[in-house]
Amino acid sequence: MNELPLQRLLPQIIDDLATHGWSRQTHVLPQSLTGELASECRQRAQNGALSPAGVGRGQGLAVREGVRGDSIQWLEPGQNTACDQYLAAMNELRRALNQAFYLGLEDYESHFALYPPGAFYQKHLDRFRDDDRRTVSAVFYLNDTWQADQGGALRLYPNDGSELDVLPEAGTLVLFMSAELPHEVLPASRERLSLTGWFRRR
């Protein structure tokens, strides 16, 4: 693959994660690829391929719209060129994180997510009580021309007591330590698309 913008952002990402436990980068992929991922997500939604997201895992998995209101579909390799390019980019990122932090990140799991207008995800951590493999969370946004007054921010709660809002603008990637950073998705007045994933260790 040609060099992606993400490639030259790696040193900044690593520095941010080391210092703050989170990083926000914009224009991480070529606009054309981000647009293809957005189309693919919309296509899947139209085809009825997305399902209401659950809370918890395994036997404890339950749909609770009062907690989270998005619909998702997990990404599988080999279904779509744009998705495969995204997975390849995340694999590069995984290798860079392993080199920098010796995290032993073994794989990356991710899903498309669509929040209809008004949907939200209450404040939570990304690590399950009974499964501590999720180590670094990565959310990539797919929404053109997002305005602050449309809501839908990802609100991060770093442990210094501050609050930080990230708008889900196309091309923005947010990374944070899954077990450490509480966060929530605020309701929006428009549909909100993303690719959300987790780098997992053994």
By the rule CB under 6 A, 185 interacts with ligand OGA: yes
139 makes contact, choosing from Mn ion, ligand OGA, none, with CB < 5 to 8 Å by partner type, with ligand OGA
146 makes contact, choosing from ligand OGA, Mn ion, none, with CB < 5 to 8 Å by partner type, with none
Count CB atoms within 10 A of the CB of residue 60.
11
Residues that bind Mn ion (CB under 5 A): 126
Helix (H, G, I), strand (E, B) or coil at 87: helix
Tell me how many residues contact ligand OGA (CB under 6 A). 9
Binding mask 80-119 for ligand OGA (x = CB under 6 A): ---------------------------------x------
By the rule CB under 6 A, 25 interacts with ligand OGA: no
Rule CB under 6 A: choose which of 121, 140, 176, 199 binds ligand OGA.
Answer: 121
Q: Which distant-in-sequence residues (6+ apart) come within 8 Å of 177 by Cβ? A: 17, 21, 22, 135, 136, 137
- Strand intervals (E) in the chain: 22-25, 51-52, 71-74, 105-115, 121-124, 134-141, 154-156, 164-166, 173-177, 183-185, 192-201
CB 112 within 8 A of CB 193: yes
Q: Which residues bind ligand OGA (CB under 6 A)?
A: 113, 121, 126, 139, 154, 183, 185, 194, 196
